[in-house]
Amino acid sequence: MPQQILAGTVCVAVHSPDAVIRAGLVSALQHDRRLQEVPPDRLHEADAVVAAFDTFDAAALDQLRALSDRPDARFLVVAGRRWQADVSAAVDRGVRAVLWRDAFTPPAFVRTLLAVADGGGSLPSTLQGTLMEQVQWTHREVLAPRGLTASGVSPRELDVLRLVSEGMELSEIAVKLCYSERTVKYTLYGLMKRLQLRTRAHAVSYAIRAGLI
């Protein structure tokens, strides 16, 4: 008979190649009634997936991909101190939090799981530093030479979007920014085409939701 899941319960799937470690993680879930384990064959129902690895490397990334190909998958990785993977690649794969095994406690585990399920995340300071360095390198070497920001939107496009959101017409924006109206139109519609935005209102809504304006 399928296990019944109560409303408001955070569903958690647990993966570990080590049966003892997996049993310990499942036991830790029982410290909070808001958490409930779902079996591997119902992993698609999980709000968060716990994956334990001794060494987190490229092979571990492949295992995460095999566990869930959902674009919105959220992983909490419990790892030994050996981290040998690209941090940004791990985030792209859905890793939202990392707990070192030697610093693991049930309260921290529960707290982090609830945060991950709610859309948050938590990385150890060393991994945060590495991720920031990768972001800086990407901005400096990849985005900046192409006139883009980390959002993939250029400063000129941001200026145009901001003024469109204020209700200005393209001719008014052209005067305000000292561009030709043709340049403003090319900038706006080029952005809309690239991001598949249907209308100006859609473009403004996207910019607001993304925190660009």
Q: Which helix (H) or strand (E) holds 81?
A: strand 75-83
- On whether residue 131 sits in a domain, the answer given is no
Are both 114 and 26 inside the same structural domain?
yes
53: left (phi over 0), alpha (psi -120 to 50) or beta: beta
Are both 42 and 119 inside the same structural domain?
yes
**Among residues 58, 91, 124, which one ends one of the domains?**
124
DSSP state letter for 57: S
Are both 177 and 84 inside the same structural domain?
no
Are both 96 and 152 inside the same structural domain?
no
Are both 64 and 109 inside the same structural domain?
yes
Are both 24 and 91 inside the same structural domain?
yes
- 177 Cβ neighbours under 8 A, 6+ residues apart: 156, 159, 160, 163, 184
Contact predicate 66/40, CB 8 Å: no
End-to-end CA distance of the chain: 50
- On whether residue 15 sits in a domain, the answer given is yes
Are both 21 and 108 inside the same structural domain?
yes
Strand order in the sheet with 95-100: 35-37, 10-15, 48-56, 75-83, 95-100
Of the candidates 121, 51, 61, the residue with the CA atom closest to the CA atom of residue 85: 61
For residue 53, the domain's CATH number is 3.40.50.2300
pLDDT at 1: 43
Residues of the chain with pLDDT under 70: 1-8, 138-139, 142-144, 146-152
- On whether residue 134 sits in a domain, the answer given is no
Neighbours of 212 (CB within 10 A): 17
Query: Domain range spanning residue 108?
Result: 10-124
Structural domains of the chain, count: 2
Cα separation of 21 and 41, whole Å?
A: 20
- On whether residue 21 sits in a domain, the answer given is yes
pLDDT at 183: 92
